[in-house]
């Protein structure tokens, strides 16, 4: 694969399997190669929070009633880019149906980031666009190997026991 920019096509969090699927391509690859990976390593918690932050956007785009956000679980975003790099996306979520003890999958329509002109009413709000770009950035970080890390110690500092303190004195 030639060096180039990684372009994210789709991000999917498969919660039940604890896996993340990312479809992407390298824009420097002249063969037009598409790549897809399913990863079992947990992502940085920011990734999951960024995906969850799309709840309000999904509610607003689909014109759902206030208070329904707790029933929405965004789990996938499919990205599209035009030749100038204008991003468009479809957000896929699960909608829980408590009375049935079940859920259904719903998608937003394909929308684009606003770049001026008279199509503002068909575009993402600035806040939603920022959330989508933040999720794309988290996917880039994940592909670059920045994953969930555990701290070897319980805090930023390591407490010394009395024997160690005496040796240093």
Domain count, the chain: 1
Quote the CA–CA distance of 54 and 73 in Å, as a whole number. 9
Does residue 54 lie in a domain region?
A: yes
CA atoms within 13 A on the CB side of 154: 1
**pLDDT of the residue at 40:** 94
Q: Convert the pLDDT of each residue in 30-83 to its tens digit.
A: 666 789 999 999 999 999 999 999 999 999 999 999 999 999 999 999 999 988
Does residue 1 lie in a domain region?
A: no
Question: pTM of the predicted model, to two decimals?
Answer: 0.82
Does residue 29 lie in a domain region?
A: yes
Q: Convert the pLDDT of each residue in 110-145 to its tens digit.
A: 999 887 766 677 889 999 999 999 999 999 999 998
Q: Phi and psi for 65 in degrees, rounded to 5?
A: -70, 155
**pLDDT of the residue at 33:** 77
Are the CB atoms for 62 and 106 separated by under 8 Å?
Answer: yes
**pLDDT of the residue at 48:** 97
Are the CB atoms for 109 and 61 separated by under 8 Å?
Answer: yes
Question: Minimum mean pLDDT among 18-22, 70-74, 84-88: which range?
Answer: 84-88
Confidence of residue 28 (pLDDT cuts 50, 70, 90): low
Domain hosting 28: range is 6-168
Confidence of residue 84 (pLDDT cuts 50, 70, 90): confident
Q: Phi and psi for 112 in degrees, rounded to 5?
A: -120, 165
Does residue 45 lie in a domain region?
A: yes
Does residue 124 lie in a domain region?
A: yes
């Amino acid at each position: 694969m030639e060096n180039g920019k990684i372009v994210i096509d789709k991000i999917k969090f498969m919660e039940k399997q604890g896996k993340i699927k990312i479809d992407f391509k390298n824009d420097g690859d002249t063969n037009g190669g598409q790549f897809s990976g399913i990863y079992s390593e947990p992502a940085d918690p920011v990734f999951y929070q960024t995906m969850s932050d799309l709840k309000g956007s999904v509610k607003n785009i689909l014109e759902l009633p206030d208070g329904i956000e707790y029933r929405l679980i965004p789990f996938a975003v499919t990205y599209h880019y035009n030749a100038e790099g204008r991003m468009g996306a479809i957000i896929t979520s699960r909608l829980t149906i408590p009375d049935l003890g079940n859920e259904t999958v719903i998608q937003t329509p394909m929308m684009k980031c606003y770049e001026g002109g008279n199509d503002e009413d068909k575009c993402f709000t600035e806040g939603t666009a920022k959330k989508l770009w933040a999720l794309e950035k988290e996917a880039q970080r994940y592909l670059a190997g920045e994953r969930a890390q555990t701290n070897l110690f319980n805090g930023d500092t390591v407490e010394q026991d009395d024997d160690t303190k005496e040796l240093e004195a």
